[in-house]
Amino acid sequence: MKKLIIPDRLKKGDTIATISLSWGGAGDRELLFRYETGKKRLEDMGLKVIEMESTLKGSLYVYNNPKKRAEDLIEAFRDPSIKAIISCIGGDDSIRLLPYIDYEVIRNNPKIFMGYSDSTITHLIMFKAGVRSYYGPSILGEFGENIEIYPYTLDYIKKVFFEGDSFGDIEASDYWSGERIEWLYENRNLKKLMQNNEGYEVLQGEGIVEGQLLGGCIDVLEMAKGTEIWPDLDDFNGAILFLETSEETMSPDNLLYSLRNFGAQKILERLNGIVFGKPYQNKYYKEYKDVIKKALLEYGLENIPLMCNLSFGHNQPMHIIPYGARARLDLDNKKFGIY
């Protein structure tokens, strides 16, 4: 298990930097209201919020300047007054940061980084640098949620910011929504339609297993394979691989191909278990289960612990996954915990 530096917790009055590492929509005029909502909710927690140089320069500028995005990230780590960094939103373009990353700056200045989806690239950057990061809410997506941050999500935000990473057993959220409400100012008071959540589902395996959490959005992991940030093969020894799909709703066939690649790399055989987040809008839920089991069977891994329908990823609400933390799967009792 790779030992990671755990960043310090926050105190009231600490400064958080918001950052646009992929899509720059936070700075587009029509979405500024959403950004300001998320910013205010952070401030309501007693935190000071600042923007990095490119955070609000808009989607065109951010797209055209991957070097500036990377410089923002490194400067946010270098600046001692900044205690945490929160991604504004995901996208599909963080992979272009890689030529400009200074891993030593990150390692020598550990601090909380939070984001999901395309932020998977930043989590892998930090894993390479040896610093724990937090797969969880973004400014536009969750901090800026219509009406309020979901209480389930907010509880884990506060744990990460102010308490620590030993969450204990993580209960599945009682409700969920993947409803898409357009980010329009006139829609700001519309609340998503929630549905009852079925809880965790164990597809195979038994007993209790533990392992270090590695993974992210499987769409983005495909871009990272073979690059300088892809974990060493030994990093997967005894790990719990956590995976989720994006709003692109990867086809079941493409999920199968991706998992076969994990198998061909001899990653699957090294794992202690796999956990999948609920698919976006629950699309392909049954089909995904079928192809996951198919891929594992193809590699003779029909007994590897496998749990689905976890409450992280592209639906709401979400819990947070501390990257590289130790997870425990209790397959017999359908429990998932981080300790």
Give the domain CATH number at 263.
Answer: 3.50.30.60
With beta carbons less than 8 A apart as the criterion, state whether 14 and 43 touch: no
Q: Is residue 311 part of a domain?
A: yes
Residue 150 inside a domain? The answer is no
Specify if 207 maps to a domain. yes
Q: What is the residue type of 235?
A: D
- Give buried/exposed letters for 127-147 (b at 16+ CB in 10 A, else e): bbbebbbbbbbbbbbbbbbee
- Does residue 6 fall inside a structural domain? no
Same domain, 46 and 130: yes
Say whether both 124 and 80 belong to one domain. yes
> Do 101 and 197 sit in the same domain of this protein?
no
Residue appearing with tokens 């990653």: 267
Is residue 246 situated within a structural domain? yes
Residue of 318, 332, 335, 325 whose CA lies nearest to 115: 318
Q: How many domains does one find in the chain?
A: 2
Phi then psi dihedrals of residue 221, to 5 deg: -60, -30
Could you tell me if residue 10 is inside a domain? no
Do 182 and 120 share a structural domain?
Answer: no
Give, to the nearest 10 degrees, the angle between helix 285-298 and helix 252-264: 30
Task: State which of 102, 121, 144 marks the end of a domain.
Answer: 144
206 & 317 share domain: yes
- Of 144, 166, 196, at which residue does a domain stop? 144
Domain C-terminal end among 144, 166, 197? 144
Please say whether the dihedral angle defined by the alpha carbons of residues 119, 289, 274 and 316, taken in this order, is positive or negative.
Answer: positive
Q: Based on the fold, state whether residues 85 and 201 are members of the same structural domain.
A: no
Of 100, 107, 27, residue with least CA distance to 66: 100
Query: Residues 111, 85: contact at Cβ < 8 Å?
Result: yes
94 and 242 in a single domain? The answer is no
What secondary structure letter does DSSP report for 125?
Answer: H
Flag whether 298 is in a domain: yes
CATH code for the domain in which residue 71 is found: 3.40.50.10740
Residues 199, 292, single domain; the answer is: yes
One domain, residues 198 and 107: no
Q: How many CA atoms lie within 13 A of 1 on its CB side?
A: 18
Shared-domain flag, residues 274 and 207: yes
Chain-centroid distance, C-alpha 265: 23
Structural domain harbouring 25: 15-144
3-state secondary structure (DSSP) of residue 195: strand
**Nearest-angstrom CA–CA distance, 126 and 102:** 10
Residue 318 and residue 185 in one domain: yes
Q: Tell me, what's the pLDDT at 1?
A: 84
As a whole number of angstroms, the distance between CA 179 and CA 176 comes to 9
Q: List the end-to-end C-alpha distance of the chain, in Å, as a whole number.
A: 14
Which region holds residue 73: left if phi is over 0, alpha if psi is between -120 and 50, else beta? alpha
Residue with tokens 């790399």, as numbered in its chain: 265
Q: For each of the chain's 339 residues, which pLDDT tens digit applies?
A: 899 999 999 999 999 999 999 999 999 999 999 999 999 999 999 999 999 999 999 999 999 999 999 999 999 999 999 999 999 999 999 999 999 999 999 999 999 999 999 999 999 999 999 999 999 999 999 999 999 999 999 999 999 999 999 999 999 999 999 999 999 999 999 999 999 999 999 999 999 999 999 999 999 999 999 999 999 999 999 999 999 999 999 999 999 999 999 999 999 999 999 999 999 999 999 999 999 999 999 999 999 999 999 999 999 999 999 999 999 999 999 999 999
Same domain, residue pair 201 and 285: yes
Is 8 a member of any domain? Answer: no
User: Nearest CA to 15 among 70, 86, 63?
Assistant: 86
Other Cβ atoms closer than 10 A to 239: 24
pLDDT score for 243: 98
